[in-house]
């Protein structure tokens, strides 16, 4: 064994020293040095497939772009068009043959392959209401980057409810990707469903191992991009995915407002003749129907439009409390809320309860004349916040919804770091952060909260 | 050949030997039940019966096209001699039903098949969902899947409507002149509808 390295090195020496073997090597270098000035920027580059990872096992014959390949200008740069159908020509005998949008079969593949068009995109989103709400900027970004894209969403039953207030989504389906043992019938049914929709791009925020990567790749989408486990569990996932994102921790939600920044960076990447996209802010849109429904609801509980402050984040074991998975300590007991509510004078505090069983406790703590409204869905909460003067809440979806509707808010956090994570640039968002000194939300300084709430009243007087 | 068959018949001879002494013995009235096809009885060791039984042997060699379904009962013949009355014999015939393994299997197989068929048929006739308004009303294609598709389409339509509303709002904000534009917006909405 010890003789082997010396043998090989000597043979290599002899090879390089012999004129026979050194010649092709020389010619190779010379030819490449001649060719380099001729290299043009490769026009026919696919959408960064395998760009990040140079794993020779993925494709042993992947030598990069072919320098001699020439691409035309058609469908090779810029953004895709919203509707690439040619105009109908009534004089043409075939002019009345109308394909649906995105289905003009003769030229569709050009854009899809050369420019990396995305006609149909599926977002598989893990987590509850909060996580889905924070994914809205990504959806808007997709819509901006790929005009005319049809975006579908796969989320769990709680998360799906968010898409009542998102105008950019076509179908939202319920499927829990966090379930370690999905029912086989549901699993196969969902794969069939996704396969039948012919997606070009599948994004997933579920931390993927081999299993989830297989699920994604079985949709037979052109490209699949997913978060992967930051540890050994990611083994094998990269083989089945086009692009992988590795988060810092196992819990993606701990990243706060920018929890999807790796994915957003990739989605906003510059392409040929397309500059880097700016990441849009979180926005929600409310339908007239929803507004009317919620208006009737809060009027029933005894408050008037524009004259109440929404209080959200009452401690409850309900699944509808809309906390982030990255901040477990984000609910305050009703007694503390009652204390805070006393200081709000200018407007009626409106308590949002996530479950009917909390109603009695609120009435006990605040008084029988307390204004209580029972709301579980983010859509209704958003409509409620839209008609309010402001929000006082702990770290729940209510805070993000207040920002999305440009309402002033007071946010109570268990620590300052959490506050900075979940509400970056709070001043721009008209948000006052109040955080506990000890790291426990229950130890929060009520005096500071009351001052902030009064400041909220001051701002509402200005409004 | 006779010798080989002898081996078969040996344990049986006792059964077919008509008893002349008192006591109980059994006669099987379906001797060929367990010897289908090749069954033949050699009565060679039975002396006087030999000639008569050779005739019978030929009959028994014949194979049976049909299964011996009716031969299911086993007859016990009870011959009792009472010492005091020498001439009179009390003969009692007892029959019991006896099924072979195959027959039992067939019966059970039929029973299971009938039960399954019955469950399917009578179960399907009493399905409240299948007979209900939800499944049977106009608009379904009879598969049941349309319910969910319809729900999805409704949601998608609601979002499209939301998108249009937002667009109109944006236009209103940009241009100003709210009232005129509201009317225009209503018109476009109607047109879109």
Chain B, nearest residue to A286 by Cα: B162
B162/A285 Cβ within 8 A: yes
Put simply, the answer to whether B152 touches A164 (Cβ < 8 Å) is no
The DSSP 8-state label assigned to residue A379 in this structure reads H
pLDDT of residue A32: 37
Q: Does B149 touch chain A (CB under 8 A)?
A: no
Is the residue at A282 inside a domain?
no
B151: nearest CA partner in chain A: A171
My answer on whether A226 and A327 are in the same domain is: no
CATH label of the domain that carries residue A392:
3.40.50.2000
Query: Structural domain tally of chain A?
Result: 2
* Statement to judge: residues A243 and A356 lie in one domain: no
CA distance to partner chain A, nearest, from residue B115 (Å): 27
| A186 and A298 fall within a common domain | no
- Which of A172, A173, A287 lies at the smallest CB-CB distance from B162? A287
Whether the CB of B180 is below 8 Å from some CB of chain A: the reply is: no
Indicate whether A128 and A189 sit together in one domain. yes
pTM listed for this prediction: 0.68
Q: What's the mean pLDDT in A318-322?
A: 91
Task: Confirm whether A81 is domain-assigned.
Answer: no
The per-residue pLDDT for range A97-130, each reduced to its tens digit, is 566 666 666 777 788 888 888 999 999 999 999 9
- CB contacts, 8 Å: A165 with chain B: 162
What is the mean pLDDT of the segment spanning A301-307? 90
Q: Are both A373 and A309 inside the same structural domain?
A: yes
**A305 and A446 together in one domain:** yes
pLDDT, position A157: 93
**Among chain B residues, CA nearest to A171:** B156
HSE-up (13 A, CA, CB side) for residue A163: 31
Average pLDDT value for chain A: 83
Question: pLDDT tens digits for A145-160?
Answer: 999 899 999 999 999 9
Tell me the residues of A at the B interface, defined by beta carbons under 8 Å apart: 163-173, 285-289
- Shared domain for A448 and A302, answered yes or no, is yes
Q: Are residues A157 and A187 in the same domain?
A: yes
Q: Do A163 and B156 touch (CB under 8 A)?
A: no
Q: Which of A267, A300, A315 is the last residue of a domain?
A: A267
Task: Evaluate whether B26 touches B15 at the Cβ level (below 8 Å).
Answer: yes
Chain B nearest-CA distance from A284, in A, is 10
The DSSP line for B86-133 is SS-EEEEEEEEE---HHHHHHHHHHHHHHHHHHHHHHHHHT-HHHHSH
Residues A355 and A309: their CA atoms lie apart, in Å, by: 19
CA B82 to chain centre: 52
Judging contacts by C-beta atoms under 8 Å, the chain B residues touching residue A174 are none
Answer yes or no: is A26 within a domain: no
A241 lies in the same domain as A314:
no
pLDDT, tens digit, 9 for 90 and up, residues A226-254: 999 999 999 989 889 999 999 999 999 99
In a domain, A315, yes or no: yes
In tens digits, chain B (193 residues) has pLDDT values of 343 433 333 333 334 444 444 444 444 444 444 444 443 444 444 444 444 444 455 555 556 565 555 556 666 777 777 777 667 777 777 777 777 888 899 999 999 999 999 999 888 887 787 777 777 666 555 555 555 567 788 889 999 999 999 998 888 888 876 677 677 778 877 777 6
CA distances from A306 to A268, A406, A457, B54 (A): 38, 14, 12, 115
**What was the pLDDT predicted at A6?**
39
pLDDT per residue over A370-405, tens digit each? Answer: 899 999 999 999 999 999 999 999 999 999 999 999
> Does a structural domain hold residue A169?
yes
Instruction: Give the pLDDT confidence of A179-233 residue by residue, as tens digits.
Output: 889 999 999 999 999 999 999 999 999 999 999 999 999 999 999 999 999 999 9
Give the minimum alpha-carbon distance from B167 to chain A in angstroms, rounded to a whole number. Answer: 10
Distance of CA A363 to the CA centre of its chain: 38
Which of A153, A185, A285 should be substituted to probe chain B, the one whose Cβ sees the most B Cβ atoms within 10 Å? A285
User: What is the rounded CA–CA span in Å between residue A198 and residue B174?
Assistant: 38
Residues of B in contact with A171 (CB under 8 A): 152, 155-156
Residue of A170, A172, A285 with shortest CB distance to B166 = A285
**Least CB-CB distance to B165: which of A166, A173, A288?**
A288
Q: Is A434 among the domain residues?
A: yes
Q: Is the dihedral of CA A189, A195, A200, A202 positive or negative?
A: positive
Check CB contact of B157 with chain A, cutoff 8 Å. no
Which whole-number Å values give the CA distances from A246 to A229, A452, B132, in the listed order?
A: 7, 38, 51
Q: Are residues A230 and A124 in the same domain?
A: yes
Give the pLDDT band of residue A96 (cuts 50, 70, 90): low
Q: Do A323 and A457 belong to one domain?
A: yes
Maximum average pLDDT range among A1-10, A26-35, A69-78, A259-268:
A259-268
Query: Edge-to-edge strand order for the sheet containing A223-228?
Result: A169-174, A150-155, A120-124, A201-208, A223-228, A243-245
Domain enclosing residue A297, as ranges: 288-462
Determine, yes or no, domain membership for A14. Answer: no
* Nearest residue on chain A to B165, alpha-carbon basis: A287
- Is residue A55 in a domain? no
Last residue of a domain, one of A208, A236, A267: A267
Tell me which of A206, A238, A267 is where a domain ends: A267
Give residue A176's pLDDT.
93
Same domain for A304 and A263? no
> Given this model, what pLDDT does residue A214 score?
95
Q: Nearest Cβ partner of B159 from A167, A173, A288?
A: A167
Q: What is the ipTM of this complex?
A: 0.73
């Amino acid at each position: 064994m010890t003789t082997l390295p010396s043998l090989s090195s000597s043979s290599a020496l002899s090879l390089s020293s012999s004129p026979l073997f050194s010649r092709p090597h020389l010619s190779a270098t010379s030819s490449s040095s001649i060719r380099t000035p001729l290299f043009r920027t490769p026009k026919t580059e696919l959408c960064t497939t395998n760009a990040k990872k140079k794993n020779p096992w993925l494709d042993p014959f992947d030598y990069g772009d072919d320098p001699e390949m020439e691409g035309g200008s058609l469908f090779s740069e810029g953004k895709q068009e919203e509707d690439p159908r040619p105009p109908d020509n009534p004089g043409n005998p075939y002019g009345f043959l109308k394909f649906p949008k995105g289905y003009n079969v003769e030229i569709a593949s050009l854009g899809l392959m050369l420019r990396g068009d995305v006609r149909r995109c599926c977002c598989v989103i893990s987590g509850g209401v909060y996580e889905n709400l924070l994914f809205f900027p990504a959806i808007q970004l997709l819509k901006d980057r790929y005009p005319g894209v049809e975006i579908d969403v796969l989320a769990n039953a709680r998360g799906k409810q968010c898409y009542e207030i998102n105008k950019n989504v076509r179908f939202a389906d319920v499927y829990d990707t966090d379930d370690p043992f999905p029912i086989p019938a549901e699993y196969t049914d969902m794969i069939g469903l996704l396969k039948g929709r012919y997606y070009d791009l599948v994004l997933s925020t579920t931390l993927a191992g081999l299993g989830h990567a297989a699920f994604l790749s079985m949709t037979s989408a052109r490209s699949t991009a997913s978060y992967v486990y930051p540890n050994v569990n990611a083994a094998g996932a990269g083989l089945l995915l086009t692009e992988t994102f590795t988060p810092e921790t196992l819990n993606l939600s701990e990243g706060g407002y920018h929890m999807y920044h790796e994915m957003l960076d990739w989605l906003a990447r510059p392409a040929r003749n397309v500059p880097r996209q700016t990441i849009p802010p979180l926005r929600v849109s409310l339908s007239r129907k929803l507004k009317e429904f919620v208006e009737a609801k809060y009027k029933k509980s005894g408050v008037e439009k524009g004259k109440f402050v929404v209080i959200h984040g009452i401690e409850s074991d309900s699944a509808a409390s809309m906390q982030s998975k990255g901040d477990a300590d984000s609910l305050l007991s009703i007694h503390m809320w009652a204390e805070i509510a006393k200081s709000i004078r200018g407007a009626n505090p409106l308590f949002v309860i996530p479950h009917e069983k909390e109603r009695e406790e609120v009435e006990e703590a605040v008084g029988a004349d307390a204004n209580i409204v029972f709301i579980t869905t983010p859509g209704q909460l958003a409509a409620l916040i839209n008609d309010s003067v402001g929000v006082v809440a702990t770290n729940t979806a209510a805070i993000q919804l207040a920002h999305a509707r440009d309402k002033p808010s007071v946010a109570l956090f268990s620590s300052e770091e959490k506050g900075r994570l979940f509400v970056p640039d709070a001043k721009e968002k008209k948000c006052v952060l109040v955080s506990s000194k000890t790291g426990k939300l229950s130890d929060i300084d009520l005096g500071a909260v009351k001052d902030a709430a009064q400041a909220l009243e001051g701002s509402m007087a200005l409004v | 050949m006779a010798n080989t068959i002898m081996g078969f018949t040996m344990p049986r001879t006792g059964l077919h030997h008509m008893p002349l002494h008192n006591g109980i013995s059994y006669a099987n009235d379906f001797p060929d039940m367990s010897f289908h096809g090749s069954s033949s009885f050699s009565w060679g060791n039975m002396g006087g019966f030999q000639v008569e039984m050779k005739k019978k042997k030929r009959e028994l060699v014949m194979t049976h096209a049909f299964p011996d379904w009716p031969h299911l009962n086993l007859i016990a013949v009870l011959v009792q001699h009472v010492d005091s009355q020498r001439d009179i014999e009390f003969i009692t015939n007892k029959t019991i039903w006896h099924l072979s393994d195959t027959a039992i299997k067939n019966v059970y197989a039929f029973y299971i098949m009938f039960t399954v068929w019955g469950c399917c048929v009578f179960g399907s006739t009493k399905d409240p969902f299948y007979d209900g308004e939800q499944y049977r009303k106009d608009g379904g294609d009879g598969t049941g899947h349309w319910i969910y598709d319809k729900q999805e389409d409704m949601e998608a339509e609601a979002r499209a409507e939301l998108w249009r509303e937002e667009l109109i709002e944006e236009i209103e904000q940009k241009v100003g002149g709210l009232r005129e534009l509201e009317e225009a917006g209503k018109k476009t909405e109607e047109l879109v509808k």
